[in-house]
Amino acid sequence: MTSGPRGLWKQLMTSSTTKVQSPLLQQLRHGLEPEQFRNAWRDILDGWHRRELWATLGLHDVRQRYRRSTLGPFWITISMGVMVFALGLLYGQIFGQELHEYLPFLAAGFVIWGLLSEMILGGCTTFIAAEGMIRQLNAPVSIYAYREVWSAVIAFAHNIWIFFAVAWWYDVGLSWNVLWVLPAVLILLLNGFWMALFFGLLSARFRDVPLIIGSLVQVLFFMTPVIWRPEMLPDRALFLQLNPFYHMVEILRAPMLGHAPAFENWFAVLLIAVFGWAITLFFYSAYRWRIAYWV
């Protein structure tokens, strides 16, 4: 039996029991019908119009996670705050950084990474966790992707207070560059939504995908300048430029620290959004109707 990423790709592209081409290979050869794209877009738009439903579900998910605890969802803030403070003291000494510069940098990076990882890892269980509702509720399946992204936004809204506290304590200066925060958050959420749809669809078909993605996210955390500064790798600029998470973190962290995001960071994130949505729409249009059977 074939296992691992190579095995998943082989199962996706070919049938193990017949000589007939897989549905995916047939779609790649013959393309999709315009009606399939229209139905996929209609599902996404209808899901947006059902925002009262997915907003309630997302809030319920966060509350359930901390049910019967005294502080409830504020444990999200406390746990990340302790981690930022402890790692700030430790790595500030290791890297020889001044705390008044390093701690705001670290706090912003941790908060943004928390948003990204929550959207990706939560996105892997988008449809798996909603198995019962998908089979019983007559609603657009995209609402479950909105639900995961909204849960990540709620956690981000709790964690951002850590950065506010650190920025106030160390008197991080504000400038007009802070206005870049709003478009940066919007483009990150746009990327997070296609990730929730794509990884949710892939995970519903192949249950090894959430474990693979979870391991990759852990590795990427250390490869992305969250706890270390980009200028610490002056001779490896290409290494940073090829890391998509560096660009996604930087377009939001820079204005939070009073700087304007670099053009290459914005260009990279917009490029990720375009290609990510193109790939996601293809798979979502082709396989959306199978989700109820896969879960």
In a domain, 1, yes or no: no
Residue 5, Cβ density class (10 Å: 0-12 exposed, 13-18 middle, ≥19 buried): exposed
In a domain, 242, yes or no: yes
In a domain, 16, yes or no: no
- Residue 255 CA to residue 178 CA, distance in Å, equals 5
In a domain, 11, yes or no: no
Sign of the dihedral through C-alpha 108, 114, 115, 117: positive
Structural domain boundaries, residue 241: 33-294
In a domain, 158, yes or no: yes
- Residue 156 CA to residue 168 CA, distance in Å, equals 18
In a domain, 192, yes or no: yes
What string of pLDDT tens digits covers the 295 residues of the chain? Answer: 455 656 665 655 554 444 445 555 555 545 567 788 888 889 999 999 998 999 999 888 888 877 766 666 677 788 888 989 998 889 888 888 888 889 999 999 999 999 999 999 998 999 998 888 888 888 889 999 999 999 999 999 989 999 999 999 988 877 888 899 999 999 999 999 999 999 999 999 999 999 999 999 999 999 999 999 888 877 767 778 889 999 999 999 999 998 989 999 999 999 999 999 999 999 999 888 888 888 7
- Residue 25 CA to residue 89 CA, distance in Å, equals 53
Number of domains in the chain: 1
- Residue 289 CA to residue 287 CA, distance in Å, equals 5
In a domain, 79, yes or no: yes
In a domain, 119, yes or no: yes
Residue 245, Cβ density class (10 Å: 0-12 exposed, 13-18 middle, ≥19 buried): buried
